[in-house]
Amino acid sequence: MKTLHLSKFSIFIIAILIVAFVTSGMIFYSSPSSISNQNERIYLHTPFSNSDFNGYVKIEDMRPNSAGIFMYPSSVPYGDRANAYQTFMLIRLPKTLGGDKNDTSSFRAYSALDPTSHCLMKYWPQDGRQRIEDPCISQPYRSIDGVSYNPGLTMIRAPTTGALPKLDLDVDSQGYLVVKPPIWTENKNGVVGIGRDVSKDEILLSSKILLNYCKNQMTWLALPVELQTGGVLMDMNCKSDHLYAVYANIDYTYKSASVDVTFCNCTKTPKELGPWINSENGQLWNIGNTTIYVSGTALQTGGNKIDPRYSEYNFRFIKNGYEVFFTDVGSFDDSAKEVLSDFFNDNDISDLKRMA
């Protein structure tokens, strides 16, 4: 009996065919098996997230910062777990994101199926949250554009931005919200169970809406929509006395940053405040009249010798009566330059002096 020997090239070709077969199967079993060829009214089945309405939806039927579940196409039975790919969320955005406008711009409709875990998600309206969350393993998603908080995270066939598939909305002649016929491709409405591709410019456009609202809440601090190191503003919660912002890097998933600012009406230096200071784990630096306490996993020791993927730096200081806590993943020099750019009028890094 002859033994069959396959060349490396033959094995490679077979592997490609297997991947292609599996991929085509994923697409076939992902997006809704049927769509309506005409605009279709939304029937809200189970309201949640501060909504008390169910039935066919008009704009005035849902309050800002509320959400509910509907099926698309509407002929799909509600409540059957096998129909998860046809389950969608209708969200009316909070007022801070334009949810008080009496038109379709106040609404978003996303697949409720997480592209990574395939768990069903929901929108949470609480202050400081107001986002879509997966109860299983994945990152949360922004309500304004359905983009993952970690947009560079890539899974098998997932788009680089990790955005949720969406449905486009309109209003019919009687004032009911309707779904326009979707195009289930990653660069259009997305592919349910896989995701939707969103450009960096689109992400930045939504981020500017977050930023503009916060500018009216805290006049002193004008954070950038994009960091010098490539981090994009993903979330921002702000009040007159507190601001918290999160940045994520689209190209390098290990890079992230956050800014936590609290009004303390204080003028003391970090060294005088006491609780922050730990001489074994931190260092004191000076820029002008401001003392900055720096801690982290890879403090500066005369050169950036630590792989930035494994280093995190925390910069803490008092400025204009606010306590500022900036955290960044990356090299010391890059993190320090970002602090100087955002909070100290672009001072050169050579002006940052290590204190004894």
Three-class SS state of 160: coil
Q: What is the pLDDT of residue 277?
A: 64
The pLDDT tens digits of the residues spanning 157-210 come to 344 457 899 999 999 999 999 999 999 998 899 999 888 988 888 889 999 988
List pLDDT tens digits, range 286-342. Answer: 888 888 888 876 565 544 555 666 678 899 998 888 889 999 988 888 889 999 998
Lowest mean pLDDT among 5-19, 24-38, 57-71, 298-312: 5-19
pLDDT at 128: 77
317: left (phi over 0), alpha (psi -120 to 50) or beta: beta
For residue 18, count CB atoms less than 10 angstroms from its CB and return exposed for 0-12, middle for 13-18, buried for 19 or more: exposed
The residue type at 217: Q
Which tokens sit at 147?
């983009």
Q: What pLDDT, on a 0 to 100 scale, did the predictor assign at position 213?
A: 80
Strands (E), the chain: 40-41, 43-44, 46-48, 55-56, 66-71, 87-92, 107-111, 122-124, 131-133, 141-142, 169-171, 177-179, 231-238, 242-249, 256-263, 282-287, 290-296, 312-319, 322-329, 353-354
Q: Where in the chain is the domain with CATH 3.40.1000?
A: 202-354
Which pTM does this prediction carry? Answer: 0.79
Residues of the chain with CATH 2.102.10.10: 32-198
Q: Range with the lowest mean pLDDT among 93-107, 269-283, 311-325, 333-347?
A: 269-283
CATH architecture group of domain 32-198: 3-layer Sandwich (2.102)
Among 102-106, 118-122, 228-232, the range with the most confident prediction by mean pLDDT is 102-106
Residue 252: band (very low, low, confident or very high) from pLDDT cuts 50, 70, 90: confident
Q: How many CB atoms lie within 10 A of CB 213?
A: 16
Looking at residue 190, its pLDDT comes to 93
- The correct answer on CATH 3.40.1000 for the domain covering 202-354 is yes
Whether the Cβ atoms of residue 145 and residue 163 lie closer than 8 Å to each other: yes
Going by the DSSP 8-state scheme, the letter that residue 224 receives in this structure is -
